[in-house]
């Protein structure tokens, strides 16, 4: 077995409406004065940047959007995976804050691995069909159960994501959290190495079902978005 580690952002905020509270750390913790926001082009025109830029303005911070020549001491990636990937690569040694607007397949693995702070706020997320989120959770959680760096920690996240997914009374907010947990487990468990461990049986046992039942539940969730 290869050496195991568990990687995650230094700070993870995940409550609805948490964006302004989380951003206060730019001043209180990181002593930031100038912020560069890197985002998708569509975000410039749909108004979803307003909570972010409004909070920065209220804190008295200078900021620029998609202007890589701006002399910033912090980078915020806001948007879908492409914007988050771009921000993660551009940040270098500067504090990097990731604010995804989707909990579907648009979450960025480089952002999960590099971010100093990850902010999951339902208020800034774009509407996503529940079937799409469920399919993403199912596929990501399943993939996170086999890898060169799986552990009890990734297993716990995967199992909880699946437990929320299989709960017929789940809310949109709960699905967002489940997607984040599955993504975090996947980001940590998967690597460039050939998978050496598979915790599928452990997950099935933790969920109180057989391996076949778990496979069937996951497959049902994956195909739900197409029905």
pLDDT along the chain (227 residues), means of 10: 66 91 96 97 90 96 97 96 94 95 72 90 84 89 89 94 89 84 87 72 96 95 72
Same domain, 120 and 134: no
On whether residue 65 sits in a domain, the answer given is yes
Helices (H), 17-129: 19-23, 25-28, 50-58, 81-91, 109-114
- pLDDT score recorded for residue 119: 93
Residues 139 and 212: their CA atoms lie apart, in Å, by: 16
- pLDDT score recorded for residue 47: 87
Same domain, 38 and 104: yes
Instruction: State the total domains in the chain.
Output: 2
- Structural domain span for residue 17: 11-124
- pLDDT score recorded for residue 133: 86
Same domain, 94 and 157: no
Residues 76 and 23: their CA atoms lie apart, in Å, by: 10
Same domain, 211 and 180: yes
Residue 57 makes CB contacts below 8 A (sequence gap 6+) with: 63
- pLDDT score recorded for residue 225: 60
Same domain, 144 and 217: yes
On whether residue 73 sits in a domain, the answer given is yes
Torsion sign, CA atoms 180, 183, 189, 191: negative
On whether residue 3 sits in a domain, the answer given is no
- pLDDT score recorded for residue 1: 41
Same domain, 105 and 23: yes
Q: Is 111 exposed, middle or buried (0-12, 13-18, 19+ CB in 10 A)?
A: buried
Same domain, 106 and 157: no
Q: Taking all residues of the chain, what is their mean pLDDT, rounded to a whole number?
A: 88
Residues 200 and 133: their CA atoms lie apart, in Å, by: 21
Domain finish residue from 74, 101, 124: 124
Same domain, 185 and 206: yes
pTM here?
Answer: 0.85
Same domain, 47 and 28: yes
Same domain, 29 and 111: yes
Domain finish residue from 124, 154, 170: 124
Angle at which helix 211-224 crosses helix 130-144, to 10 degrees, equals 140
On whether residue 6 sits in a domain, the answer given is no
Domain finish residue from 95, 124, 153: 124
């Amino acid at each position: 077995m290869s050496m195991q580690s568990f990687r995650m952002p230094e700070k993870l905020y995940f409550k609805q409406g948490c964006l302004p509270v989380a951003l206060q750390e730019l001043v209180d913790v990181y002593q930031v004065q100038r912020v560069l926001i890197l985002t998708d082009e569509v975000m410039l025109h749909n108004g979803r940047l307003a909570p972010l830029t409004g909070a920065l303005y209220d804190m008295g911070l200078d900021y620029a959007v998609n202007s890589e020549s701006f002399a910033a001491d912090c980078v915020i990636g806001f948007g879908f995976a492409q914007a988050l990937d771009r921000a993660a690569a551009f940040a270098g040694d500067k504090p990097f804050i990731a604010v995804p607007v989707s909990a579907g397949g648009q979450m960025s693995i480089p952002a999960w691995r590099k971010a100093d702070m990850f902010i999951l706020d339902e208020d800034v997320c774009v509407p996503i069909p529940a079937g799409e989120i469920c399919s993403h959770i199912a596929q990501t959680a399943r993939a996170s159960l086999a890898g060169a760096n799986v552990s009890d920690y990734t297993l716990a996240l995967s199992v909880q994501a699946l437990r929320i997914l299989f709960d017929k009374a789940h809310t949109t907010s709960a699905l967002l959290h489940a997607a984040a947990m599955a993504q975090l487990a996947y980001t940590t468990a998967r690597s460039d190495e050939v998978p050496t461990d598979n915790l599928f049986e452990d997950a099935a046992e933790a969920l109180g079902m057989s391996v076949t039942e778990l496979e069937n539940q996951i497959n049902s969730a994956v195909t739900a978005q197409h029905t």
